[in-house]
């Protein structure tokens, strides 16, 4: 992304797939993520695993932070919402990341058995950066 996006500016169309470099070998493949290869430098890495059948994760938007989601194992769906447009995408390959900029509501669901969702975040954890109430999210997105 070339321009700095704000909470009110972002749209579902700003969500982008990113290619994860892979070295292929007869002994197995190696995917790698290097500092500087993505639209932002990540400061926090975490992963979701052992998700019970039917569980949903996410259910929030960020005010200042961007994220990249990668299905390092299994698959899941990501519901994206900018308070006007909605889109669902499926992640099922460790060779693709989904870059979600600030101001996009996301919910993650339909986790396959043994799936792992790796998340690279643009900053350290701050509860103040989360919008966890959908009505508040819509109100903030639509403020003039």
CB 57 within 8 A of CB 41: no
Give the model confidence (pLDDT) of 57-115 as tens digits: 999 999 999 999 999 999 999 999 999 999 999 999 999 999 999 999 999 999 999 99
Residue 82 lies in a domain: yes
Mean residue pLDDT of the chain comes to: 94
State yes or no: pLDDT of 3 exceeds 60: no
State the pLDDT at residue 8. Answer: 86
**Residues designated as active site:** 60
Give the residue-averaged pLDDT of 21-26: 95
Asked if residue 56 is part of any domain, the answer here is yes
For position 39, what pLDDT does the model report? Answer: 87
- Count how many domains the chain has: 1
19 is a domain residue: yes
CATH number at residue 84: 2.60.120.10
Between the alpha carbon of residue 102 and those of residues 57, 123, 138, the distances in Å are 17, 12, 14
In our burial notation (b when 16+ CB lie closer than 10 A, e otherwise), range 7-38 reads: beebbbebbeebebeeeeeeeeeeeebeeeeb
């Amino acid at each position: 992304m070339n321009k700095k996006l704000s909470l009110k500016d972002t749209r579902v169309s700003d969500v982008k797939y990113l290619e994860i470099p892979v070295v292929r070998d007869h002994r197995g493949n190696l995917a790698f993520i290097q500092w500087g290869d993505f639209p932002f430098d990540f400061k926090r890495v975490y992963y979701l695993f052992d998700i019970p059948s039917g569980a949903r994760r996410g259910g929030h938007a960020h005010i200042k932070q961007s994220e990249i989601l990668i299905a390092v194992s299994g698959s899941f769906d990501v519901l994206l919402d900018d308070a006007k447009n909605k889109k669902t995408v499926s992640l099922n390959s460790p060779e693709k990341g989904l870059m979600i900029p600030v101001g996009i509501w996301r919910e993650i669901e339909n986790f396959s058995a043994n799936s792992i969702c790796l998340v690279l975040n643009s900053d350290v954890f701050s509860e103040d950066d989360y919008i966890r109430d959908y009505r508040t999210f819509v109100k903030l997105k639509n403020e003039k």
